[in-house]
Each structure stands twice: as C-alpha cells, then as structure tokens.
Amino acid sequence: GDSVTQMEGPVTLSEEAFLTINCTYTATGYPSLFWYVQYPGEGLQLLLKATKADDKGSNKGFEATYRKETTSFHLEKGSVQVSDSAVYFCALSNFNKFYFGSGTKLNVKP
Amino acid sequence: NAGVTQTPKFQVLKTGQSMTLQCAQDMNHEYMSWYRQDPGMGLRLIHYSVGAGITDQGEVPNGYNVSRSTTEDFPLRLLSAAPSQTSVYFCASSRPTGLYTEAFFGQGTRLTVV
C-alpha cells in the first residue's frame, strides 16, 4: 500500500544553518505530495505542495522537489530561524486518501 | 473563516466511559476524516467519509464509530474508552481541486483516558 517514510528526529540546528529533512514515498499512480508543519499545541498547516513529477513547491523559504525517479520529496531551507522550530510532516495524497510520515521535530537554537 | 472546528480541545475520561468528539467544517468539502497522532507514529487514519451517508474504515478503526448525516459534521464516537485511546485526535476535510487534494485540519482534541 501507499506509505511515506521520513527521517527521524529530533533535528537540532543553529540559527541560519541549512536544513534538509528527507522524505521518500511508495505509491501507486500519481500522488500529490505535501509538507505540513505543526507548531506546539496547534493543528497541521500546509507548508507546501507539489502535484506532479519535477514540480517544486515553495513557501516561507522552504522548498521541496517532487522526484519521481527517486520517489523523494526532501524539504530544504537555506537559513533556518528560531521561529521554524516545529514538527514537520511529509504526506502524500492518492485517490483522496492521505498518508503521513512519522514527523520530524526541528529545534532551532539562537 | 472558521474552516474545521473541533470540540472539545481537551478531555479526560475514565476507562469505560463514552464520549463524542465533534468536528464541523464550513467549506462544503465532501471528504472528511479522523486521525490520531501518537508520538513517533505520525497521523494514522481512523475513519473517513467521502460524503453524507458514506463512511469507511481507515488504518486503526477499532473502538471508534462515525456517522455522516450532513456534509458539515463528522462526529467521532468512543463507545467504551480505553487507556490505549489516549492520544491527540485531528479532524480534516478536503476536496479535490483539479490536480490535487488539499487537507485542512482542525486544532485537535487532546484525550486522556485514565
């Protein structure tokens, strides 16, 4: 069945460091891919999305490229801020069902 | 814009008690779903609905019931709460928009069963 695997955390970085959170997926057909972010005590918010191969989703300095050949959708940011501290979920949508990775907690220290 | 509204935000139950977690959306989305979030396990699908009168089981349905009498509401019922149901519960709604389906989430309900 469809599934998402993402790197385990927590990830601890200093402010202005480069961020990569790895995500790979298994799916039939042509899924859409997403990154959601969850701040403490809140629900999930859509961070970015990509709907087809080679699409690049971007938002708030975060980027991820839909790589069908490697079934990956890695999240990157060139310079993280303390305010980026949160839990990040990689997800796919296929036939109106969502599948989530286990989440990666990011801690950014000043 | 209300979006997806969940109530209550926090709840403590004794083992064996029953309760209903409420979920309402005002976006006229056909698709609604319930997830539970446990540490290190991401979000797991409990039940989902593709429209009023239609529901189906997700990955972890045991111990939960749902119904969908209207497009707006999708309550989740715990008939006899167990400590294993201690978790954070999220309701989501979505609608296909051409190329993709985006899910909108409620704020969550933190449930503790003692």
Residue A4: its chain B contacts at CB < 8 A? Answer: 42
Summarised one tens digit per residue, pLDDT across range B54-91 is: 999 998 999 999 999 999 999 999 999 999 999 999 99
pLDDT averaged over chain A? 93
Residue B108: its chain A contacts at CB < 8 A? Answer: 42-43
A96 and B106: CB-CB below 8 Å?
A: no
CB B109 within 8 A of CB B24: no
Q: Which of B42, B50, B107 sits opposite A103 (nearest CB)?
A: B42
Size of interface A-B (CB pairs under 8 A): 61
Summarised one tens digit per residue, pLDDT across range A72-100 is: 999 999 999 999 999 999 999 887 778 89
Is pLDDT of B101 > 80? no
Q: Which helix (H) or strand (E) holds B34?
A: strand B31-37
Question: What residue in B sits closest to A36 (Cα-Cα)?
Answer: B103
Q: Which of A4, A51, A89 sits opposite B100 (nearest CB)?
A: A51
How many Å apart are CA A78 and CA A46, to the nearest integer?
Answer: 19
CB A66 within 8 A of CB A80: no
Summarised one tens digit per residue, pLDDT across range B29-64 is: 989 999 999 987 788 999 999 899 999 999 899 999
Summarised one tens digit per residue, pLDDT across range A10-35 is: 999 999 999 999 999 999 888 999 99
How many Å apart are CA B106 and CA A57, to the nearest integer?
Answer: 23
Is pLDDT of A107 > 90? yes
Q: What are the tokens at B13? A: 């139950």
Beta bridge partners, A25, equal: A4
What pLDDT, on the 0 to 100 scale, is given for residue B99?
60
Of the listed ranges A44-58, B65-79, B100-114, the one predicted with least confidence = B100-114
Beta bridge partners, B25, equal: B4
Q: First-to-last CA distance in chain A?
A: 41
Q: Is B92 on the interface with A (CB under 8 A)?
A: yes
What pLDDT, on the 0 to 100 scale, is given for residue A30?
84
- Dihedrals φ, ψ of A83, to 5°? -70, -10
Q: How far is CA A56 from CA A66, A88, B30, B91, B94, in A?
A: 6, 17, 28, 28, 22
User: In this structure, how many other beta carbons lie within 10 angstroms of the beta carbon of residue B114?
Assistant: 10
3-class secondary-structure state, position B94: strand
Q: Is A93 on the interface with B (CB under 8 A)?
A: yes
Length of chain B: 114
Q: Please give the single-letter amino acid code of residue B43.
A: L
B108 and A42: CB-CB below 8 Å?
A: yes
Q: Which helix (H) or strand (E) holds A18?
A: none
What pLDDT, on the 0 to 100 scale, is given for residue B1?
61
